[in-house]
Structure 1
Amino acid sequence: MTNTVEITAPIEQEGTKAVVRNWLKQIGDRVREGDALVELETDKVTQEIAAPCDGILSEIAMEDGDDAAPGAILGRMRVETIGVAAEAATASPSQMQPLLPATTASSYYSPAVRKAAEEHGIDPAALKGSGMGGRVTRADMDHALEASRSRPPAPQSQPAATEQPFPVAPTDGKSRIVPHSAMRLSIARHMTQSLATAPQVTAVFEADFTAIMRHREGHKDRLKAEGVNLSYTAYFVAASVAAMQAVPEVNSQWHDDGLEIFEDVSIGVGIALGDKGLVAPAIRQAQNLSLETIAARLQDLTNRARSNALKADELKGGTFTISNHGVSGSLLASPIIINQPQSAILGIGKLEKRVVVREVDGVDTIQIRPMAYVSLTIDHRSLDGHQTNAWLTEFVRILQSWPQ
């Protein structure tokens, strides 16, 4: 007796769709309930879809690069009680149809590939597939379409000097095109939309980190023994909460009929994921948390972000964002594009020793201090310069007067 169980994309996911990125099992593989079957990439996270039961993977309905809406059928499993081994050996992807006559496995294409072939007139048989077993995927078809669009037009007999506004790379030069991930495309759309939506202005201050460095030196070993890394970012989150009390309008969202000022300060912290992009999971209700708790939350979110284990809900609900771009070496980044629909984003530059002038007993002295540029980029619809500078003034004051 054989029963078929569908493997579906989660109903609750970040965004309206996900993209199939990698099947971890092949047709005919025997799997146990909970085994990871396939990876889905949304615009924020990559998640593994687990087997809903014990059985055999009998059908792959969506290939690498296919869009998977919430609840979409990704594949099917067979749950068998008789003749499992014999039938597993003959399992095949019944959903795949040959588009063009051919003798290789790559001539069988998913519905998404066949649709792209019909819409764009691209023969998948002419492409080198990047999917399992060399299978052509929808991502391969999209890549081929973009490549065809980017080719320079045929030269005219007498081209005018103004017809080519941008230089074109030599046709005999070597290059390669790396297909965009769903996360990279989402970041591109989000950044473009943010700049198109809001007039953005950046103010820059300088902060002396002496006080927080001394505090950290005095407490980091104790917290390390408890399994918590007391990072500088924890201080930035706590100081941002304090600055919100002085200028609550920064913790807001613009609406055409008014400015929505939030009582809860939920701070998103940018976490780089290498070449894949970045995410900004939110520390909810940070105004109720101690420095130690903030540090523990940051450590947990960072670890899970880099292992693709964040939950979709953790990427929502932020009211303000911090970009600690200095960890990768930059002194100043401007503008750091606002994470819409928030009204502001804080940037922290590289910490380095600088020569500064400090007054001691009425006399100017030259000292070496650990300094960093801090910036606040605002939605100028929501905030003006005096609010921006007042917030940064309080933020810097909190850092520089941190009690020991």
Structure 2
Amino acid sequence: MSIEVRVPDEQEGTKAVVRAWLKKVGEAVAENDPLVELETDKVTQEVPAPAAGVLSEILLDTDAEAVPGALLGRISVGEGKPTPTPFVSSEVATRLPAQGERPSTWLGTNGDIETRLSPSVRRALLQHDIDPSRIHGTGRNGRITREDVDRAVTMATVSHVDGGDKAIAQPRVAEPFAASDIPHDRMRLKIAENMVRAVADAPHVTALFEADFSAVAAHKKALAERGVKLSYTAYIVKAAAQAMAIAPAINGRWMDDRIAVSSTIDIGVGTALGDKGLVVPVVKDAGSLSLEDVGAKLDDLTRRAREGQLTGGDVSGGSFTISNHGVSGSLLAAPIIIHQGQAAILGVGKLEKRVVVRTVGGQDAILIRPMAYVTLTIDHRVVDGHQTNAWLTRFVEILESWPSA
């Protein structure tokens, strides 16, 4: 009897490729064992074994395109008994390579981490001479993923000290600049493909406003004093959801015969992953969530994004997107490319103190306020300037009139 292994449907059309098989044909697997890694332009996800048995057939091999529902392989059940995954002894696991020794002789881990490494992870560990026992695995059951290795390579370099008896991770030391080509990885290629298609399909137009965050800052400080810590992004998401009432088409998308307006406000928030690009996890039905719930959801999504633990469902189904590019120091970015299939994207620049003129007691006054530029880039097929400006006016009004905590 055979059990089919298929690409999960939850990718909702996101193009994926097979990154690596974690088991070989003829190898025993237990139910829910990580079986194969799939990679999209947004996430890498593991497909677990749907049943215990023996992997009898691989139909989509490494680098093959994997559309939702596609048949990946088959597991024979009743013909073999899954065996526990072997672990390397503690002596081997904790031993560090001697000076000049290739890590292939110690490519194992202790009992806290699975020793089964995917081919791509094994190649990366060998390439960068990294001891896997020094990497915290974020995959299922603590298994090391390729993102874990990439993160280790980016954040630290393994240096041998004390005559080679120890290996510790140290911050990279600044070196003289040397130009070198950077090969494309799959995520970068998919991001490029999506960006080009989005610009080609949708005529982009950007409107610029300015927002005073004084009321939000006061509310945020008052909550913090009560032990409730929220990011400014939580306020931005909540205000964006509330502003949709003034121009519902901004929460829609262009179709050949109509403008399809989403029944829920599902807001994606761009999250940078360093040199690996970015992902856009989605706060589902943000319009029905309280401010505190939005904050909790954002914290969870951001943490899992940076740990490489997002699923296809976490990054799909968005109806509107926010690019909080100001967190990296940018005052203004325009146009910000609209997420394909959406009508608009909100950009929020760096929050900084600026001198502004306000009317106080009937007189003009020069004040210092926390200000940020906010932009709305729209698909001009879906909405016009009047709706764009009305939405931004309402969005800024919500932020500037945030009630006291």
Same fold by TM-score greater than 0.5: yes
Corresponding residue of 1:98: none
- Residues 219 and 26 (structure 1), Cα distance of their counterparts in 2 relative to 1, 3 Å cut: same
The answer on whether the counterparts of 2:59 and 2:71 sit within 8 Å (CA) in structure 1 is no
Show structure 1 runs of 5+ residues with no match.
89-128, 135-172
Corresponding residue of 2:160: none
Corresponding residue of 2:276: 276
1:37 CA drift (Å): 3.0
Number of matched pairs = 316
The answer on whether the counterparts of 1:265 and 1:286 sit within 8 Å (CA) in structure 2 is yes
- Residues 210 and 339 (structure 1), Cα distance of their counterparts in 2 relative to 1, 3 Å cut: same
Corresponding residue of 1:42: 40
State the 4+ residue runs in structure 1 displaced beyond 6 angstroms. Answer: 129-134
Identity of aligned residues (%): 55
Worse-superposed segment, 373-382 or 25-34: 25-34
1:383 CA drift (Å): 2.0
CA distance in 1, matches of 2:34, 2:183: 27
CA distance in 2, matches of 1:11, 1:283: 20
The answer on whether the counterparts of 1:7 and 1:73 sit within 8 Å (CA) in structure 2 is yes
CA distance in 2, matches of 1:212, 1:285: 22
CA distance in 1, matches of 2:348, 2:77: 53
**Counterpart residue type for residue 234 of structure 2:** A
1:40 CA drift (Å): 1.0
Corresponding residue of 1:118: none
Corresponding residue of 2:219: 215
Matched, 1:233 2:257: no
Q: What whole-Å deviation, never above 9, does each CA across 1:333-385 have from its counterpart, x for those lacking one?
A: 10011113222111011111122222322333332211111001111222222
1:27 CA drift (Å): 6.6
Equivalent positions of 1:294-333 (< 5 A) are: 294-333=294-333
**Counterpart residue type for residue 179 of structure 1:** H
Q: What whole-Å deviation, never above 9, does each CA across 1:81-135 have from its counterpart, x for those lacking one?
A: 58x99xx9xxxxxxxxxxxxxxxxxxxxxxxxxxxxxxxxxxxxxxxx979679x
Corresponding residue of 1:139: none
CA distance in 2, matches of 1:174, 1:274: 19
CA distance in 2, matches of 1:319, 1:58: 41
Equivalent positions of 1:343-354 (< 5 A) are: 343-354=343-354
CA distance in 2, matches of 1:16, 1:302: 20
- Residues 362 and 266 (structure 1), Cα distance of their counterparts in 2 relative to 1, 3 Å cut: same
CA distance in 2, matches of 1:52, 1:130: 23
1:387 CA drift (Å): 1.9
The answer on whether the counterparts of 2:53 and 2:75 sit within 8 Å (CA) in structure 1 is no
The answer on whether the counterparts of 1:14 and 1:42 sit within 8 Å (CA) in structure 2 is no
CA distance in 2, matches of 1:208, 1:188: 34
- Residues 243 and 62 (structure 1), Cα distance of their counterparts in 2 relative to 1, 3 Å cut: closer
- Residues 176 and 28 (structure 1), Cα distance of their counterparts in 2 relative to 1, 3 Å cut: farther
- Residues 389 and 265 (structure 1), Cα distance of their counterparts in 2 relative to 1, 3 Å cut: same
Corresponding residue of 1:10: 8
The answer on whether the counterparts of 1:4 and 1:79 sit within 8 Å (CA) in structure 2 is no
- Over the aligned positions, Cα root-mean-square deviation in angstroms equals 3.3
Q: What whole-Å deviation, never above 9, does each CA across 1:245-264 have from its counterpart, x for those lacking one?
A: 22333222233444334443
- Residues 58 and 318 (structure 1), Cα distance of their counterparts in 2 relative to 1, 3 Å cut: closer
Q: What whole-Å deviation, never above 9, does each CA across 1:156-192 have from its counterpart, x for those lacking one?
A: xxxxxxxxxxxxxxxxx973341331x3333222221
The answer on whether the counterparts of 1:267 and 1:286 sit within 8 Å (CA) in structure 2 is yes
Matched, 1:176 2:175: no
Q: What whole-Å deviation, never above 9, does each CA across 1:2-43 have from its counterpart, x for those lacking one?
A: x77665433553426521223445677655332223311123
CA distance in 1, matches of 2:292, 2:239: 13
- Residues 81 and 66 (structure 1), Cα distance of their counterparts in 2 relative to 1, 3 Å cut: closer
Larger Rg: 1
1:63 CA drift (Å): 4.5
Worse-superposed segment, 34-43 or 372-381: 34-43
Show structure 2 runs of 5+ residues with no match.
87-118, 125-177
